[in-house]
Structure 1
Amino acid sequence: MNKAVGVTVMSYNIHHGVGVDDQLSLQRIADVIRDSGAEIVALQEVDRFYGDRSEYKDQAAELAVLLGYHYAYGSNLDLGPEEGRADNRQYGTAILSKHPIIRHENILLSSFEDEPRGALHAIVNLRDVHMNVYNTHLGLDTTSRTVQAQEIIDLATSAQGPKILMGDFNAEPDSPELQLLLNSGLFVNSFQGIEDAYTFPFSNPPEIIDYILTSPTVQHSNQQVIRTDASDHLPIAVDLAFK
């Protein structure tokens, strides 16, 4: 029998690096990731040359440098540059990985609201196991999320190898859109049965809207919600093992 391959993964809506104290600090976000030991991280609400609120930084690239990780970025909102600047203003998701990213693609999902949504898909080489890592930030209404969830199922169905779907789903555990994902046969909830998995807003959060789903054959342990005020969401992390 092959030895199980283990990895710690995290999902974190970073609120473009602004904490509950209204201070912008990517170093603080990097410290949270580093302290968790997470080797593959799905980030939502990531700016790239977006504006003054994030000092026009390429946040995914900067976090990758701070951690010494590889990264992939997916822009769901892509606006023309501000006057006097050359770079498009972008907002979306990122995947950071201690392990090599073989390739990646950002797929725009159907959106029925002002903010476009997408699914960032990266294939990560984890000690010769090629993992499909998906990162998404779903819409704000049930109709949008249900269509987007089905589109993610359609994308993941054709992918070979183990799958991890992480992100801010904007949906509670009993929502039909989450059940659609779980009933697809592709995913299970790594926090199933964990009582205190509340992530938003950060202080005594009443909502569970951030998730790490995996292929059914993947084993889960050491599920944790990490207490930090570096964003308005709390990050979640879990240890995974698969063969």
Structure 2
Amino acid sequence: MTRYPRSRRSLILTALAGCLLLVLSPLTAQAAVRATDVKTLTFNIHHGQGSDGRLDLERVAKVIEASGASVVGLQEVDKYFDARSNWVDQPAWLAARLQMHYVFAANLDWDPLEPGKPRRQYGTLVLSKYPIVDSRNTLLPLTPGREQRGLQEAVIDVDGTPLRFANTHLTTYNDGERQLQVNAIVDLLKDAAEPTMLVGDLNAIPTSTEVKTLTTHWTDTWRKVGAGLGFTSPALLPVRRIDYQLHSAGLTPKSASVRSTLASDHLPVAATYTLAASSRG
């Protein structure tokens, strides 16, 4: 057996250790990026009008900003809709203010009051710090004479991992209509290949048939990690939990909270999830 002087042996061992680190470091780096924490928020913003009656979209933006959310679902958003929101393009305004990507879904799409003016639209909005790579809006079943509702879906690239983020606002008026809307949502989302979130104002309490139908397919995040009753409506003295974040496998909830604010007639729900290793390609 060849024996080297001690100093030479040290150099050889150092070189071998360096080579081993070069081999292992890509594997270590790969392991390090396999889990991504994602902060989310759902908020019915009542077109920016607070529970104090004041229209203040900046106040809505500050609520979103303070939550630290990187993916946000908003309901009751106006786009050149009415004097009630000063004819503002709220999706574009919020996206610019928060420096986020966005996609807007118009469930109401009306002719302008004056020729040449933008169309009057009202619906849901997804904001994201991550790129939005695909989106669609599906109009949900409607009782004649009632307000059209929809399911907005956005596929978001979270550091290389696709997340399907669905945002909705179900009818206020009729349990039967709301159940039809829920059935349609299940059909649209149940076979999604990506880890999936469903957020929004469901206008139904946790014990309702509609919510029980949804939680057969997706987990109620609040039930897993929320503390307390999670009431969100009305904002000044909340007595009902009707705003939700639901999630599929591939997402592990870490925390959930209801944020206090006068920025709307609802309170927002914030959550944090880990996008697990099994959900990555």
Match of 2:202 among 169, 172, 175: 169
Q: Distance in 1 between matches of 2:67 and 2:111?
A: 36
SS of the residue corresponding to residue 63 of structure 1 reads helix
TM-score, normalised by the number of residues in structure 1: 0.96
Aligned to 1:216: 249
Corresponding letter in the other structure for 2:159:
R
Deviations 1:101-156 (A, max 9, x none): 00111110111152000000000000111000100000121111111111111111
Q: Tell whether the 8 Å contact from 2:259 to 2:268 is kept in structure 1 after alignment.
A: yes
Q: Aligned residue for 1:32?
A: 63
CA distance in 1, matches of 2:244, 2:116: 36
Q: Which amino acid aligns with 2:272?
A: D
**Matched residue of 1:222: which SS?**
strand
Q: Is 1:79–2:110 an aligned residue pair?
A: yes
> C-alpha distance in 2, partners of 1:89/1:204?
32
* Cα displacement (A) at 1:84: 4.8
Cα distance per residue 1:152-197 (max 9 Å; x no partner): 111112321100000000000000011111113xx10000153230
Higher helix share: 2
- The question of 1:18 aligning with 2:66 is answered no
| Closer, same or farther: CA 57–85 of 1 in aligned 2, 3 Å | farther
User: RMSD across aligned C-alpha pairs, in angstroms?
Assistant: 1.3
Unaligned 5+ segments in structure 2 are 1-30, 277-281
Aligned runs of 1:1-243 on 2, under 5 Å? 3-112=34-143, 113-140=145-172, 141-184=174-217, 187-192=218-223, 194=226, 195-243=228-276
Query: What is the CA-CA distance between 1:5 and the residue it aligns to?
Result: 1.3
The alignment partner of 2:223 has SS state of coil
User: Is the radius of gyration larger for structure 1 or structure 2?
Assistant: 2
Indicate the larger mover: 147-156 or 212-221. Answer: 212-221
Structure 2 CA distance for aligned equivalents of residues 75 and 95 of structure 1: 12
Question: Which one-letter code corresponds to 1:163 in the other structure?
Answer: T
The alignment partner of 2:153 has SS state of strand
Measure, in 2, the Cα distance between the counterparts of 1:206 and 1:182.
Answer: 21
Distance 2:117 2:221 in 1: 42
- The SS at the match of 2:188 is helix
| Structure 1 Cα separation of the partners of residues 101 and 69 of structure 2 | 13
Distance 1:208 1:238 in 2: 15
Runs of 4+ that moved beyond 3 A:
none
For 2:85 and 2:102, the matched residues in 1 are separated by: 19
TM-score computed with the length of structure 2 as normaliser: 0.83
Which amino acid counterpart does residue 106 of structure 1 have in structure 2?
N
**2:192 & 2:103 partners in 1: Cα distance?**
18
Do the aligned partners of 2:51 and 2:236 also contact (CA within 8 Å) in 1? Answer: no
Larger deviation, residues 6-15 vs 144-153: 144-153
